[in-house]
Chain A
Amino acid sequence: MKRQIPLFITFFVGTLLIFSVFIPPMETLGENFTLFFDIIAVFAFFLGAGNLVRVHVSKLRKRKADWGFSIVTLIGFGFMLFVGLLKIGNPGGIAADVTAPGSWFQEMFNYVINPLQSTMYALLAFFVASASYRAFRAKNREATILLMAAFVILLGRTPLGMMLTAWIPDSLSIFQIPNMAVWIMNSFNLAGQRAILIGISLGVVAMSLRLILGVERTYLGGDDSG
């Protein structure tokens, strides 16, 4: 029963949603189920948060390596939760939006989450540059094509690309590097992305069918009892 009921739920919900497309009175079912999904996802956030607290409290208790930083995580988590759930410092009180300008919650986002998030992503620019220096060698035809496309796109999105080919007349503007970059993005890149998307869609459809029909069961975990 521990496995049969979940398999039945997956089959029932999946089939219902597919059939609802063909039955006009049931068309809103997809919207409602998406909302159900979002509500369960919020509970999953609670679960994740509970797990985060459990892991860091356990690390603190056992005085594991870098346990001091767990205090930072717990304080940050607790403070943000306190400010967000109780709408502390929100100019419009409980009725106003939690992200109202000037609210503590929004200030925490602007001055803590946003700088941390964007700097973490920006950090990747250095690592990508370093990795590409090692990996981007025009060893064969395919690698050369990749290198050239990347070079044109990189150059096309900087003022240098514009400066280098600004002398080309407007009637031949396709040969200006920024325009070449746009053309590559709108033709070759579009074609390649489309071929990949079509492949992905077939994969998703096949995987959805496997899940609905109970062929794919790995999401149930390894315990076969029951």
Chain B
Amino acid sequence: MKKTTYLLMAVISALFVLSWILKAGSLSGETDNYVIQGFLITFSAFLTLSVLSFLYADNPLYKFAEHLFVGVSAAFWMCMGFWTTIVQNLIPRLSDGLSSFFEVPPQPGDYNFFFFIPVILGILLLMRLSPKGGWISRWPLAFIIGTTAGLNFVRYLRSDFIKQISNTFVPLLGTEWQGIGHFFSNLDLSASGQLVTMAANWVIFLGVFCGLIYFYFSKEHKGAFGAASKVGIWVLMLTFGASFGYTVMGRISLLVGRITFLFRDWLEIIS
């Protein structure tokens, strides 16, 4: 490493320690674990700034944060899987001894011999790490694929196909006629805004219909079919634009959250 890198690391370390001391000092009257809390808040701020430093260029601080994230989150999901799935759902069904060790009392009728199947398949999956026995890991993989295919076949047909089509057939001429004056005068989003509700229903019905026509490639998009397909593209463009705007706002909300953390929880500049 270069001399400047060492110098930079020393400066960052000194700033970190200084921030830790100051933060712990400010928390001393509020909590008993003020030294640990001070460290955690300072470390969290350091990680936030390290990730944001990528906006300038790829650098060792960002790499540190990135590598730490990979290691910690892998262990996090592994532990969550172990405690929530293996201990809570598997062990009470297989062993009384292990259940009492982990203090998860088995419910009556919980014992189920068939739950040895996923354990065996899970162990077979680990054979992938073995150079010679790797092929046997295809069995649990086949089970996973079969389960996903079988469940998705029914689930998608029910919720994303039949239900979505059923919900597209909405009243196009309104349900309660309250007079022409009321119909045109109320352009709000409340239930009484009949024109707005009706327009939305027309947009949904025609939008889905034209959108599906656009995705139908077995017939040339010409004439009336082509016109409907064109409307379908416009509806899809509006959808993509709306989704884009929504996603960007979500990301900006996260950024605001992080900046709030830095200025309120760490630096205590804002209240």
Question: Which residue numbers of A lie inside 8 Å of B, CB to CB?
Answer: 2-3, 5-7, 9-18, 21, 30, 32-52, 54, 66, 69-70, 72-81, 84-85, 94-95, 97-99, 105, 107-113, 115-126, 128-129, 132, 141-143, 145-154, 157, 170-175, 179, 181-202, 204-205, 207-209, 211-212, 219-221, 223, 226
Contacts and interface: CB of A to CB of B under 8 A. Distances in A.
Interface of B: 40-41, 43-45, 47-48, 51-52, 54-55, 63-83, 85-86, 89-90, 102-103, 114-115, 117-119, 121-123, 125-126, 128-129, 135, 138-154, 156-157, 160-161, 164-165, 167-168, 185-189, 193, 196, 199-200, 203-208, 210-212, 214-215, 232-249, 251-252, 254-255, 257-258, 261
B151 A30 contact: yes
Contacts of B150: 13-18, 33, 208, 212
Contact of B78 (A36, A49, A185): A49
Contact of B200 (A21, A50, A51, A187): A187
* Interchain residue pairs A-B with the least CB separation, the first 8: A191-B207, A192-B239, A195-B211, A17-B150, A149-B241, A153-B245, A84-B79, A43-B122
A130 B119 CA distance: 48
B239 A188 contact: yes
A79 B74 CA distance: 11
Given A6-B139, A153-B246, A111 B40 contact: yes
18 contacts: A10-B143, A18-B153, A35-B89, A40-B140, A46-B122, A69-B63, A73-B67, A77-B74, A115-B258, A120-B69, A142-B234, A145-B241, A183-B200, A190-B204, A192-B236, A194-B164, A195-B208, A198-B165
Contact of B69 (A11, A35, A116, A128): A116
B188 to A, nearest CB: 4
B37 to A, nearest CB: 9
B77 A184 contact: no
Contacts of A70: 67
A149 to B, nearest CB: 3
Max chain B C-beta neighbours (<10 A), residue from A16, A40, A48, A189: A40
A122 B254 contact: yes
Max chain A C-beta neighbours (<10 A), residue from B40, B203, B205: B203
B143 A95 contact: no
B47 to A, nearest CB: 5
Contacts of B237: 142-143, 145-146, 149
A123 B152 CA distance: 34
Nearest to A98: B83
Given A72-B71, A187-B204, A201-B160, A145 B247 contact: no
Instruction: Say whether chain B's binding surface is mostly helix, strand, loop, or mixed.
Output: helix
Nearest to A219: B145
Given A17-B151, A132-B244, A194 B168 contact: yes
Contact of A10 (B64, B142, B240): B142
Contacts of B90: 39
B248 A125 contact: yes
A144 to B, nearest CB: 9
Contacts of B102: 94
A151 B242 CA distance: 8
Contact of B139 (A9, A122, A126, A190): A9
A169 B239 CA distance: 28
Contacts of A51: 129
A2 B241 contact: no
A205 B207 contact: no
Given A122-B255, A192-B240, A209-B153, A39 B122 contact: yes
A132 B243 CA distance: 13
B126 A50 contact: yes
Contacts of A142: 233-234, 237
A77 B67 CA distance: 10
B189 A183 contact: yes
A40 B68 contact: no
Given A120-B69, A185-B246, A44 B125 contact: yes
Contacts of B245: 149-154, 157, 181
Contacts of B152: 204-205, 208
A119 B167 CA distance: 38
Contacts of A72: 64, 67-68, 71
